[in-house]
Structure 1
């Protein structure tokens, strides 16, 4: 069985209970004054009974509201589930596997198939042993690691010897070939299920960086296996047009890469909503000079009209929005031949943490221009940071990322990050600030952040100082690694404040980490384990008090 985190009494509950006790005490103090005819128009007896009933109802509602806890993931309870229903389970670090699982469940339901959608950690050993049909969508994070929220399943179920002969399963392994341990967690799940005699419904399907061909293969296999009446075509999620309203170079003179504050304004009247921790998927476009160079090599006119998916556009536009072909394979082909023969694939969206909240009325990102050792640049970072013109349309889709959504306002929060990770942390700080301005009380907030130099890389310095003065940020510790002879990083600051860290965690604080997957995130994790102990860190992972958005 999955361990449940110990029940914690929130500060809000304590405060309300204290207020009720104080009111009761005041009532008792005034009780001696009520002897005799204390009011010439004393209410009749039946009204006293009505008042008592209302008071009891109020206390009951308060008790119910104190105990109720919102579920931060859109998952369904497995208690009393139909054993014939298909179980669709997700293991998601950035929200992508969760979104695909939702689409899979909805596709089955539209075909008349009963379905339960759950997070992987909601499944226990007994439920697997009971058998049935299971569809798993599993992301791999870091160097072959499982998503954080699956910790209790990995600890309590995965690896045990279980008789799963009555279980049939299909598995979608999601990863990125840029990492050495491609789809490692998906393969680990697949191997364990097979070792326990579970029966695969079809061969494991790998998805590299949201490859639409692999996603369509998954949808085809699901439709074929469950014989849904109409096979759905897997379309990429729809992007919306935003306008590049402003772009600011945040760190001129820095020894590190150029960092930009990107501000996007929604086009159209339909409002967009999101939560702190959600992801902005940006559709990139190749730099114009790169496309012109390719056209010259091909000897083709960029204005030549081509047809793609039934729509006409120029060859220049088609190339700018596509993965570029190998020139040697295109020589001798005319414009339409290039589009047809090579079946150009659209450029894949890039993910960015959102640095604003909907109340700001704009979508804000923090982007570092990526430059490789050979001088070539990242397509999307180059597009956003330098190539796109102000007022130009940027195609964006906002993706929910429940794994990094904020805790309850009353929970103390420790935000840790470095570099452009300030974007995701800034969204959480803005959320707390807006809540305070609306009159709601919030838990303490501690920011630990790392960059290169105070003179050039103190992103949003005036904002952070303002939040400190307003009491939004109760504590701020910044590590500037290049400002002294010894390199000091954010993990070193965290280790230095070990006693304070223990105190905050003991008071119920949650820890959110955003930034570099290489270096910062694993070393912060090591400091947490050295300071708090493996058991406490693992419990925080399992209960959602320790969350990471790293890349």
Structure 2
């Protein structure tokens, strides 16, 4: 255990008689000696808790790290982002080894199961100087990295013809070495804040941490929650809801593939329960006169014993300053602007202790119909529509259907019927979201629809439906089809990728990626 936590526990225990244990507030009246001891204990606790959140990450030996983080920087920006990335991952409990590209080699990389790369492109597609040796010695040679799963953040300037070229070259080298992408390469144009928030989202998925703090505060707008419908009553899975959000700006626009960033809030009852557990009065105020309970609505409330103990008896303003803001949540947009609403498909998630997830709980239960929800639309160029004249194969599972629906709506609206959807869920009776709309398009000849319901046909998933249609898949690709995948990164997306590799072969699959005809939005 951390020595600060041990010291805190020992000092608090020394002050706590049985009578005082039943009334912690009484400690404040037990004389100067007790007050000094308690103050010192609280100081140690606070220092320890903050140290846990802000410790500067350091390199670890290969056998002690969960992943390798490598950066190639020309101006120092990639190095700065690498430090922020490492700190975020370490705060989420991961062990991170770091290196610059002048220290990187395939031998070193092969020692890790996971790797992240943050790389700049200079001039017209050149690698940074720090990566020159790696490019010269390794990038033109073959390597074997079949056990490595990786992600690339490519920094560049779209005013140059070879935008993010070194990042794309590195991504191609890793794929040819047999490494598996955790998510599609993320391009950052001149420090675009939206792309960096998407990188942070992927870090949270990688670390299994939905409470990873935002590096920059999103500029939210107030939307109205105008619709909330349970889509799967009786399902064996978690409740899934269709949500409709309306903007006061009638001119707001987005494209299929774009993302809604939502600012979640704590339920009022959750804040009150937390304050009660901390021994704080419900009407406690901040120095500026605001109620503490109102100010805590958008803050992460710790529930671990050590974190709560570190905040015990802190003054209201100090408490608020110690708690980070709730980070944004990302959801695929299922509608077109012409529909007048922004539609989301959201499944309720739960923490191990039964509490609803912050984002899903806020949207599906706690936010009031007709009330305000903080929303920002983020452009997601990597999942924007292919040319309308090209056939489109859409593959997804669960609420990942949201990221595919807007593509279908755009193409049907344009009269393009060369569309094929492969969709997977549990039971057709409960989990076939938007079934009426999809079947109507099918009957109109606008959609080929293949489904896999794993509880109705045990063990059959969407990747099995794709494998069974392998010959048709080859035919669609010969006609220039693009493949878009949306849904679970943990099971569905890698399984679909495996089937594509099995059916098409490595070279053909790499060609699809390089041509932008195979794209994924997975979480």
Distance 1:491 1:242 in 2: 37
| Alpha-carbon contact 1:239-1:397 (below 8 Å) kept | yes
In structure 2, what is the equivalent of residue 542 of structure 1? 514
| Alpha-carbon contact 1:356-1:430 (below 8 Å) kept | yes
Structure 1 residues 148-163: aligned runs within 5 Å: 152-156=169-173
Cα pair distance change 1:277/1:209, threshold 3 Å: farther
Distance 2:263 2:168 in 1: 32
Q: Secondary structure at the match of 2:171?
A: helix
Cα pair distance change 1:383/1:143, threshold 3 Å: farther
Structure 1 residues 21-100: aligned runs within 5 Å: none
Match of 1:480 among 439, 453, 457: 453
Distance 1:469 1:323 in 2: 48
- The Cα shift of 1:327 comes to 2.8
In structure 1, what is the equivalent of residue 326 of structure 2? 347
TM-score (norm 2): 0.63
Q: What residue ranges of structure 1 are gaps of 5+ in the alignment? A: 1-84, 97-118, 134-141, 161-169, 183-207, 216-234, 437-441
Q: Secondary structure at the match of 2:151?
A: coil
In structure 2, what is the equivalent of residue 526 of structure 1? 498
- The Cα shift of 1:531 comes to 0.6
State yes or no: 1:402 paired with 2:402: no
In structure 1, what is the equivalent of residue 103 of structure 2? none
Distance 1:404 1:313 in 2: 43
Cα pair distance change 1:534/1:147, threshold 3 Å: farther
In structure 1, what is the equivalent of residue 110 of structure 2? none
Cα pair distance change 1:210/1:382, threshold 3 Å: closer
In structure 2, what is the equivalent of residue 263 of structure 1? 244
In structure 1, what is the equivalent of residue 264 of structure 2? 284
- The Cα shift of 1:335 comes to 2.5
State yes or no: 1:452 paired with 2:451: no
Distance 2:453 2:438 in 1: 15
In structure 2, what is the equivalent of residue 380 of structure 1? 359
| Alpha-carbon contact 1:263-1:362 (below 8 Å) kept | yes
Distance 1:87 1:410 in 2: 43
Aligned residues: 364
Give per-residue Cα distances to partners, 1:44-94, cap 9 Å, x unaligned: xxxxxxxxxxxxxxxxxxxxxxxxxxxxxxxxxxxxxxxxx979899x9xx
Cα pair distance change 1:434/1:89, threshold 3 Å: farther
- The Cα shift of 1:395 comes to 0.3
| Alpha-carbon contact 1:422-1:515 (below 8 Å) kept | yes
Distance 2:276 2:119 in 1: 51
Distance 2:128 2:318 in 1: 54
Q: Secondary structure at the match of 1:521?
A: helix
In structure 1, what is the equivalent of residue 151 of structure 2? 145
| Alpha-carbon contact 2:417-2:446 (below 8 Å) kept | no
In structure 1, what is the equivalent of residue 203 of structure 2? 176
Structure 1 residues 350-361: aligned runs within 5 Å: 350-361=329-340
| Alpha-carbon contact 1:86-1:132 (below 8 Å) kept | no
Distance 2:207 2:233 in 1: 34
Cα pair distance change 1:331/1:156, threshold 3 Å: closer
Distance 1:130 1:258 in 2: 51
Structure 1 residues 54-453: aligned runs within 5 Å: 127-128=126-127, 143-146=149-152, 152-156=169-173, 176=203, 179=206, 211-212=213-214, 215=215, 235-266=216-247, 268-306=248-286, 313-325=290-302, 326-340=307-321, 342=322, 344-436=323-415, 442=416, 444-453=418-427
Distance 1:507 1:381 in 2: 40
Cα pair distance change 1:238/1:449, threshold 3 Å: same
Q: Which has the larger radius of gyration?
A: 1
- The Cα shift of 1:464 comes to 0.4
| Alpha-carbon contact 2:213-2:326 (below 8 Å) kept | no
In structure 1, what is the equivalent of residue 111 of structure 2? none
Distance 1:124 1:451 in 2: 47
- The Cα shift of 1:271 comes to 2.2
Distance 1:418 1:157 in 2: 27
Cα pair distance change 1:256/1:209, threshold 3 Å: closer
- The Cα shift of 1:456 comes to 0.4
TM-score (norm 1): 0.60
- The Cα shift of 1:125 comes to 10
Q: Secondary structure at the match of 2:126?
A: helix
Distance 1:291 1:157 in 2: 46
| Alpha-carbon contact 2:276-2:282 (below 8 Å) kept | no
- The Cα shift of 1:294 comes to 1.2
Cα pair distance change 1:503/1:297, threshold 3 Å: same
In structure 1, what is the equivalent of residue 486 of structure 2? 514
Cα pair distance change 1:434/1:301, threshold 3 Å: farther
| Alpha-carbon contact 2:245-2:341 (below 8 Å) kept | yes
Cα pair distance change 1:157/1:504, threshold 3 Å: closer
Distance 1:159 1:130 in 2: 24
Distance 2:384 2:76 in 1: 25
